[in-house]
Structure 1
Amino acid sequence: MKHHQGFSSLELLCSLAVLALLVALAVTQTGEALERARIGRVLSTLTESILVSNRAAVGSGATSVLCPVGADGLCNDASDWSGGWIAFADHDHDRALSDGDAVIGRYPAPGGGLRIYSNQGRPRLVLHPQGDSAGSNLTFTLCGPHGSASRAVISNGTALRGERVVGALPPQCQRS
């Protein structure tokens, strides 16, 4: 009786096909986990910037403002915060960063293809010395490049709530 050693071509091809499938699944899962981690990091940075600004407003008695920055490094009136944002003590009460205002922090663009949007009509978050914010609740939507999304909702009392978006993506996150 003859004994064969090694693998046949068919066995080798089947093993390689299974291995390729497992690698593809692992890469997909790893990419999604990394995207969720990046979104979590940005949510954490956003939360920190709001809490520090609120503390500065209460401690100094001056209104604090957070706003998205444009290419000039100053506040813009867009709902897209993907280019980063700035927090400052608004000593002259004009809701725009000017010479008399103190910068609390500059927060760079998140990178990695992540995009951040505030709800329409709320291009700034204004925090009063009493510890509250003006206007209605502010919702930030964070969109990942691979189809994941999360939201951060800030109430008038500056309570923060984060939630992962499940199901259909928000309109801001849908690519055209």
Structure 2
Amino acid sequence: MNRKEAGFSLVELVITLAVLAIIMAIALPAFGGMLQRTREASTYHLLTASLATARLRAVKDGAPVTVCPSRDGRTCRGDEVWSDGWILYRDPDRDDQPQADDAVLQHLDGVRGNLALRSTTGRRRVRFLPSGWASGNNLSIRLCRPGEDGFLGSVIVNNAGRPRTERYSTPKRCPFQP
């Protein structure tokens, strides 16, 4: 009785690994692009959801709620850089900073994947009033990636407090250097 050993031969293993390497070489660049597009879409969704949450919370609580860029998750930054993250905080006295740690309602970490977020000059934060309105100028937070045509779009909050996204199917020149 002849008994064959079960398993792969060295030749079969080498051929299988070669085919796998070819498939991976074709798939990885496409996967990287898909991952970058997913990061971009997630950034839009997270920022828009945070702004909508702050607006609803201001109406529900009957007190102002502010959203601002934050590096540490406890205080607002003094510039227009939102890339490091942002916070939502109860703001009954309309202060430029949260007055206590428990005033912070939500903290979101910064964006990843070579993306940059900056608000327009002159408006560093948005304060939602108990009516849901965000009085003052419109706030635009621009999303860019490094490169010649890196301006992907903006999240815009109008005076009525409604956040919306504006995305470009063909990216444009970024108004700031990421």
TM-score over 0.5 (shorter chain): yes
Q: CA deviation at 1:101?
A: 6.2
Report the equivalent of 2:131. 130
Is residue 2:169 matched to residue 1:168?
A: no
Mean CA deviation greater in 51-60 or 143-152:
143-152
TM-score normalised by L of structure 1: 0.76
Q: What is the CA deviation profile of residues 54-77 of structure 1, one whole-angstrom value per residue up to 9, with x for unaligned ones?
A: 111011111100111135841012
Letter in 1 for 2:79: A
Q: For residue 45 of structure 1, what is the aligned residue in structure 2?
A: 46
Structure 1 partner of 2:61: 60
Which ranges in structure 1 are unaligned for 5 or more consecutive residues? 1-18
The DSSP-based 3-state class of the residue aligned with 1:59 is helix
Measure, in 2, the Cα distance between the counterparts of 1:160 and 1:123.
Answer: 15
- Match for 2:160: what amino acid? G
**How many residues are treated as equivalent by the alignment?**
154
CA distance in 2, matches of 1:101, 1:128: 19
Query: AA paired with 2:163?
Result: L
**Aligned-residue identity in percent:** 31
Give TM-score scaled by structure 2 length. Answer: 0.75
Would the aligned equivalents of 1:36 and 1:148 in 2 still touch at CA under 8 Å?
A: no
Note if contact 2:50-2:88 (Cα within 8 Å) is conserved in structure 1. yes
* 1:149 and 2:152 are equivalent in the alignment: yes
- Closer/same/farther in 2, CA of residues 133 and 72 from structure 1, 3 Å limit: closer
| Equivalent AA in structure 2 for residue 168 of structure 1 | K
Instruction: Give how far 1:45 is off.
Output: 0.7
